[in-house]
Chains A and B, each alone.
Chain A
C-alpha cells in the first residue's frame, strides 16, 4: 500500500458521509411505503397528470434555457476573443460578478423588474407603450434561469473558443470560408468540448431548480423541483419526494449520457 494513501481518508469519509449514505437513504425512501414495505408507487407517480405536466414543463424550461444560453454565449465569446488579453479578463470578470451575489437576491431583483408595477413596466409607460404582464409566467421563469445559469455556459465555451489557434481561423478564411461558414465548420466543432460541459452545467441545474419558479412563477407554475420540495416540506411525504428525486436523477443522467455520447461519436464522424 502506498505510504500516502492515508491522505485520501478525509475524502473517502466525506464521500461516504455526504454522498453514499444520503443516496442510500433516498433510495430506501423511494422504494418503500410509509410502513416500510417495498413499492414502485413512488417512482411511477411521475405519470400522475400533475407530476407529468411538471416534468414536461421542467424539460421545456431546461431545453429552452440551454438553447438560449448557447445562442447568447457565442457572439459574446467571439467578441471577447478579439479583445486584448487584459480587456478580455475584465470582460470575463464582469460576467462572473453576478455569480458571486446571493442567488435569491438576484431572483428577487428580477421579480421587482418584471412585476406589474415593476421597473420594466415603469420604463414602458414612460416610453408611452403598453405594460407587459410577464410576472408569474413561463417567460419570467425562463428569464430567471437564463440569467442565473448563463455564466456557466459562457465560461467553458469561452475557454474552448479562446484556445482555438488564430492560424486555423485564418486558414479557413484563406480557403474561401466567410464568417458564417468559418463559425459552423471550424469554430463550433472545435469548441464542442466546452459547449458540452456548458450544456451539462446549464441543463442539469435548470431542470432541477425550484427557487426561480417559486419566486418568478408565483407558485402557480410548477417545475418537478417545486413538487419534490412540497412533498418534503408541506406534505411531509418523504417517500414520494424521494421517488420523484430518484426518477429525476436517472432521467438527467440518461439525457446527459446521450449528449456526451454524441461527443465521442462526433470525434470519429465527419463534420460535413
Chain B
C-alpha cells in the first residue's frame, strides 16, 4: 500500500494578484507529524486551508489517498482542523461541542457518550463536560477543540498555530501533550507554526516555507544542522550569517582570515554565505583565535551568557557558559565541522526576510 496519504501537486494560489503559494509540491506520509514552518505571510496557513478544503488552489491538485479532492468541500473530507482561536461553539457545552461531528454522522448515543469520555480523558479535561466554553481558559478551550476534532477519527488532523495564543509555559506543556496524543491516536498531523522551537520539538519532518516556496524539508536535526540557505539558517535558531569566499575545498575566507571547514565542491573563490551557530563559537585568548575582536555586550540568559563580539564591522553572537569582560579584546575559534557553507541565493525569493513577529 502506498504510504503517501496526502499529496499537493503543483499548487499555486494568489490573493488580489499577490502570489501566496508558488507551484508547491508536498507529500505527506501516513502517521507522520509534519510541520509547516515560516514567518507570517509565507503561505503556510493557506496551504493548510487548501488541505482542509477552506480555500481552493488557483492551479494544481490535492490528492488524498491518490484520489483528487481539490474541489471537495470541507464537510466531505475526512480531515479535521484545530483552529488557532479554538472556535468552539459558544452556545453549546463542552460535551455538545465534542458530540457535534459524531451526531452528524448519526452515531449511537452510547458510542457518542463513550467517545466524549475517552476524548476528555485524552486531553486531561474529565469533569469539564458540562461546562460552557466561555468559562474555560484559553488552554482548556484548545484542549476541547483538540478533543472535538479527534473524536471524528480523521485521517489527517490539521493544526493551525493551535498554541499561538497561549503563554510560554502552557505552550511547552501542551507541546508535550500533543506528542503524547499523536502517539495515542496514530493520526497524521499537519501542524502550522511560526515558532521554530515548537517545530523542532514536535515534528518528524519540518517544511520551512517563505514567500510561498518550500525553502527546505527534513528532520529537525537536518534543518538545524544543515540549513540549505541563509533564510533557513536565519529563521531556525540564532545564527551568525556572514559573507565569505570559498578559497578552495575545505578552506573558507571570512573577514580576511582563512579558516578550515569541511565543505567541498564549491567553485574556486566563489562568494558564499557562511552560517555559524552562536553555541559553536569559542572565546579564546586574543592571539589564539581565527578572528580577533572586542566584547561589546554580555547578557546573562540563565543557562548561558549571550556575548557579542565586534570583529571589524560585524557583531558575532556567541553563547558561552563562561562570562567575558566588556571591552576586552578576545579571539574567536571554531571547529571545521561547525561551519556551514551555503551558496548565495540565485533569486530574490530565497533571500533572507526578517519578520517582526
A271–B97 Cα distance when bound, in Å, is 11
Q: Give chain B residues whose Cβ lies under 8 Å from the Cβ of A167.
A: 83, 85, 87
User: Are A176 and B104 CB-contacts (below 8 A) given A168-B89, A271-B91?
Assistant: yes
Taking CB atoms, residues of chain A closer than 8 Å to B79 are 174
Q: Is the pair A176, B90 in contact by a Cβ cutoff of 8 Å?
A: no
Asked whether A175 and B104 contact (CB < 8 A) given A165-B87, A167-B85, A167-B87, the answer is: yes
Q: How far is the CB of A229 from chain B (nearest CB, A)?
A: 43
User: Are B87 and A170 neighbours in the complex by a CB distance under 8 Å?
Assistant: yes
Which partner residue on chain B sits nearest A186 by CB separation?
B89
Given the contacts A174-B75, A190-B90, A271 and B101 also touching, CB distance less than 8 Å: no
> With A177-B75, A178-B75, A181-B104 known to touch, is A172 a contact of B96 (CB < 8 Å)?
no
The verdict on A17 contacting chain B, using a C-beta distance below 8 Å, is no
CB neighbours of A189 from chain B (8 A):
91
Contact B89 A171 (CB under 8 A): yes
Partner of A272, one of B80, B90, B103, B149: B103
Please, which residues of chain A bring their CB within 8 A of the CB of B87? 165, 167-168, 170-171
Least CB distance, A166 to chain B, in whole angstroms = 9
A87 interface residue per 8 A CB criterion: no
Q: State A270–B79 Cα separation when bound (angstroms).
A: 27
Residue of A170, A174, A186, A271 with highest tally of chain B CB at under 10 A: A174
Answer whether residue B278 sits at the interface, using C-beta atoms and an 8 A cutoff. Answer: no
Known: A170-B74, A272-B96. A175 touches B80 (CB 8 A): yes
Q: Mark B51-84, 1 if CB is under 8 A from A, else 0.
A: 0111000000000000000000111000111010
* Interface members, chain B 137-152 (any A CB < 8 Å): 148-149, 152
The prevalent SS among residues of A at the interface is helix
CB–CB A176/B96 < 8 A? no
Are A174 and B92 within 8 A (Cβ)? no
The residue on A at minimum CB distance from B78 is A176
A172 to B53, CA, bound (A): 13
Task: Flag A179-207 by CB within 8 Å of B: 1 or 0 each.
Answer: 00100011001100000000000000000
Q: How many contacts between A and B, using CB within 8 angstroms?
A: 68
A177 to B93, CA, bound (A): 18
> Any chain B CB within 8 A of the CB of A173?
yes
The number of chain A residues touching the other chain, given as a range, is: 20 to 34
Tell me, yes or no, whether B305 is within 8 Å of chain A by CB. Answer: no
Give per-residue flags for A231-272: 1 if the beta carbon is below 8 A from chain B beta carbons, else 0. Answer: 000000000000000000000000000000000000100111
Distance A186 CA – B92 CA, assembled complex (angstroms): 10
Asked whether any CB of chain A lies closer than 8 Å to the CB of B100, the reply is yes
Quick check: B80 and A271 within 8 Å, CB to CB?
Answer: no
Q: Are the C-beta atoms of A172 and B89 separated by less than 8 Å?
A: yes
Write out, one digit per residue, whether chain A residues 117-134 have a CB within 8 A of any chain B CB (1) or not (0): 000000000000000000
- Is B105's beta carbon under 8 Å from chain A? yes
Question: How many angstroms from the CA of A90 to the CA of B96 in the assembled complex?
Answer: 38
- Known A-B contacts A174-B81, A176-B101, A270-B96; the reply to A190 vs B74 at CB < 8 A is no
B58 nearest CB across to chain A (Å):
20
The docked-state distance in angstroms from the alpha carbon of A176 to that of B154 is: 11
Q: How far is the CB of A66 from chain B (nearest CB, A)?
A: 22
Residues of B within 8 A of A270 (CB): 92-93, 96
Across-interface contacts of A190 in B (CB, < 8 A)? 89-91
With the chains together, A129 CA to B97 CA distance in Å? 54
Complex CA–CA separation, A185 to B92 (angstroms): 10
Residues in B neighbouring A170, C-beta threshold 8 A: 54, 74, 81, 83, 87
Q: B75 to A173, Cβ gap below 8 A?
A: yes
**In the complex the two chains form, what is the Cα distance from A190 to B93 in whole Å?**
14
Q: CB distance A171 to B83 under 8 Å? A: yes
A-side contacts of B83, CB under 8 Å: 167, 170-171
The A-contacting residues of B in range 336-351, CB under 8 angstroms, are none
Chain B residues near A175: list those with CB within 8 A: 75, 80, 100-101, 104, 148-149, 152
Whole-angstrom CA separation of A185 from B91 in the bound complex: 10
Q: B81 — which chain A residues lie within 8 A by C-beta?
A: 170-171, 174
Closest residue of A by beta carbon distance from B91: A189
A170 to B77, CA, bound (A): 13
Across the interface, name the chain A residue whose C-beta is closest to B49: A170
Residue pair B105, A176 in contact (C-beta under 8 Å): yes
Known contacts: A171-B81, A272-B103. The answer to whether A176 contacts B152 by CB under 8 A is yes
Interface centre among B73, B74, B85 (most CB of A within 10 A): B74
Contacts of A176 in B (CB 8 A): 75, 101, 104-105, 152
Most chain A CB inside 10 Å of its own CB: which residue of B90, B92, B100, B149: B100
| Interface residues in chain A, defined as those with a beta carbon under 8 Å from any beta carbon in chain B | 165, 167-168, 170-178, 181, 185-186, 189-190, 267, 270-272
- 6 CB-based A-B contacts, threshold 8 Å: A171-B83, A173-B74, A174-B52, A175-B101, A177-B100, A271-B91
**13 additional contacts, CB 8 Å, given A186-B89, A267-B91, A271-B96?**
A165-B85, A168-B88, A170-B87, A171-B81, A171-B83, A171-B89, A174-B52, A174-B74, A174-B75, A176-B105, A178-B73, A190-B89, A271-B91
The 5 closest A-B pairs by CB, nearest first: A175-B101, A167-B87, A171-B87, A173-B74, A176-B104
